[in-house]
Amino acid sequence: MSTQTTTFGRIFGGADGRDRIAVPFWDGILSTIGAVLISIVAGILVTIPVIIAIVLATGNMPSLNPGHPVLLTAEAASYAGAGWFAWWRLRETRGKIVFRRPGAVDVRAILIGVGVTVLVRVATAFQLTATHQTNHVQSGFEHFTVVGKLPTVTIISVALTVLCAVCLAPLVEEMVFRGLLFGALASRIGVLAAALISAVVFGAAHGDLVLFPSLAAVGLISAIAYAATGNLWVSVTIHAVNNAVSTAFLIAASLLGVS
């Protein structure tokens, strides 16, 4: 079946679309774990020397709040390491490129996916209102600020935040959670069950119980979009648009001094 004639309705029928996304089970699972470990190691290897260099140069401990250059540099290094490894493993396990120029079907999938994520955001707003948690900030961003003592530091912080959250995070996380993990699970248990399980893992990986339902929902949307098209650019784009909205609010709140 041509990927360009694939529709969402067909991914749960017959071979349920797993041929478009499946990777060997153990290769995919172990590669997912490897990417996570490389991400952690890369972040540590960059953070420590950067902190030491700043302390030696200035005599002061740099800010380690999320949004400041030190942690953002480490985050970028983490994504770079994990992304390189995930890309290599996808090329080896899939035997073909999982990224291709979007066609009409891909664009339609992106539009549908973005539309559904908007509905998820609306539902999340109702959830936070009903539970009296409208001031809740995603775990890890509680003290987020891009404002530095110097204007140059602020500009660098904003640029690195956009790079990490809107560009690197969607690209790398989609390769790891959708390309490797989802692909591995789909090869054994089918698309629907694999999409649900990988979405739960994706939501849990962010470590935020309050926002877990919406994070898992975004993971599920991305998985279904990827299964429907076999093109990771589709899920990356949906993920990036979702992150761009959150990032814009975070940066604006920080610049305006809104707590």
Q: Are 102 and 231 in contact (CB under 8 A)?
A: yes
Dmax over Cα atoms in the chain, in whole Å? 65
Residue 129 CA to residue 239 CA, distance in Å, equals: 24
How many residues does this entry show for the chain? 259
Residue 12 CA to residue 17 CA, distance in Å, equals: 7
Residue 43 CA to residue 36 CA, distance in Å, equals: 11
**Taking the domains of the chain in order of start, what are their residue ranges?**
17-256
DSSP 248: H
- Identify the pLDDT of residue 259: 54
Q: Are 213 and 202 in contact (CB under 8 A)?
A: no
Residue 239 CA to residue 31 CA, distance in Å, equals: 21
Reported pTM: 0.91
Residue 80 CA to residue 76 CA, distance in Å, equals: 6
Residue 98 φ then ψ, to 5°: -95, 0
Work out whether the CA dihedral 101, 104, 105, 108 comes out positive or negative: positive
Residue 185 CA to residue 183 CA, distance in Å, equals: 6
Cα–chain center distance at 26 = 22
pLDDT in tens, the chain (259 residues): 344 444 445 544 445 678 889 999 999 999 999 999 999 999 999 999 999 998 998 888 888 889 999 999 999 999 999 999 999 999 998 876 789 999 999 999 999 999 999 999 999 999 999 999 988 989 889 889 999 888 998 999 999 999 999 999 999 999 999 999 999 999 999 999 999 999 999 999 999 999 999 999 999 999 999 999 999 999 999 999 999 999 999 999 999 886 5
Name the token pair of 158.
């904003």
Q: Is 16 left (phi over 0), alpha (psi -120 to 50) or beta?
A: left
Residue 80 CA to residue 78 CA, distance in Å, equals: 5
